[in-house]
Structure 1
Amino acid sequence: MAGMGFMDKLNVDKLKQTLSQNRDKVEMGLDKAADAVDSLTKGKYSDKIDSGADKAKDALGKLGDGEDGKDQGKGAKSGS
């Protein structure tokens, strides 16, 4: 697959901006979706659903912070 074109880069940047401005709403949507799936599966996969929702929120945070899931020298989150 070839590298991202100019328009693709603009769309990704717009998505990142929108996500960072609406992170609380997106996280609420992830929680609602996780709750709905958990309900449909009658709690059988609760741990996996919670883990998946948490990973999605972490990825959302990385996108919103401009990290793209890669270490770009912004420093590790070591609690300092």
Structure 2
Amino acid sequence: MGLLNNLRARLDPVKGKVSDLAQQHGDKIQHGLDRAARAVDQRTRGKYSDRIRTGADKAKDAMDRLAHKNDPAPGAGGTTPPTGPPPAS
């Protein structure tokens, strides 16, 4: 068993707990990310505002994925493409 497989085996039980915590405290986490981004932006005097905003948005998206907020509801249908030929333009 490789190092990566060993690490995955040890972290699998923790996945659910992290997801639950992200769901319960998502608003607090996002508020903290906003505050951190604002503080860094003030320290750099706006020089890196675009990069800071992009980084904060990516962190929020990652947190949403952890909390499974973007998962479709069970039985809501998947994103399977239609089986017919593409429409002619």
**TM-score normalized by structure 2?**
0.68
Q: Which structure has the larger Rg over C-alpha atoms?
A: 2
Percent same amino acid at aligned positions?
A: 42
Q: Which residue does 1:15 correspond to in 2? A: 18
Measure, in 1, the Cα distance between the counterparts of 2:33 and 2:69.
20
Do residues 2 (structure 1) and 4 (structure 2) align? yes
Pairing of 1:1-80 with structure 2 (within 5 A): 1-3=3-5, 4-5=8-9, 7-65=10-68, 75=79
TM-superposed CA distance for 1:60, in Å, is 0.9
Q: How many residue pairs end up in the alignment?
A: 69
Where in structure 1 do 4 or more consecutive aligned residues deviate above 3 Å?
Answer: none
Consecutive unaligned residues in structure 1, runs of 5 or more:
68-72, 76-80
Unpaired runs of 5+ residues, structure 2, are 71-76, 80-89
- Superposition TM-score, scaled by structure 1 size: 0.75
